[in-house]
Amino acid sequence: MNYHLPRIALVSCLSIFSIGLFAQTAPRTGDAKLTEYWDPQVRIITPGKTASDAPSDAIVLFDGKDASKWKSQKDGGEVRWKIEDGALVVARGTGGIQTREGFGDCQLHIEWRTPAKVEGESQGRGNSGIFLMGKYELQVLDNYNNRTYSNGQAASIYKQTPPLVNASRKPGEWQTYDILFTAPQFYADGSLKSPARITVFHNGVLVQNNTTIWGATQYIGTPNYEPHGALEPLALQDHGNPVAFRNIWIRPL
| Residues of the chain falling short of pLDDT 50 | 3, 5, 10-11
Distance CA 239, CA 96 (A): 8
Residue 70 CB burial class (10 angstroms; 0-12, 13-18, ≥19): buried
Q: Are 115 and 171 in contact (CB under 8 A)?
A: yes
pLDDT at residue 3 in the model: 47
pLDDT at residue 28 in the model: 84
Q: 11: how many CB neighbours lie within 10 A of its CB? A: 11
Q: What is the phi-psi region of residue 7: left when phi exceeds 0, alpha when psi lies from -120 to 50, beta otherwise?
A: alpha
The highest-level CATH class for domain 59-252 is mainly beta
Cis peptide bond prior to 40, omega within 30° of 0: yes
Give residues with Cβ within 8 angstroms of 65, minimum separation 6. 83, 86
% helix / strand / coil in the chain, to the nearest 5? 10, 35, 55
pLDDT at residue 27 in the model: 78
Q: Hey, what amino acid is at 239?
A: H
| pTM over 0.85, yes/no | yes
Distance of CA 1 to the CA centre of its chain: 55
Judged by DSSP in three states, 206 sits in strand
Could you report how far apart the first and last alpha carbons of the chain are, in Å? 61
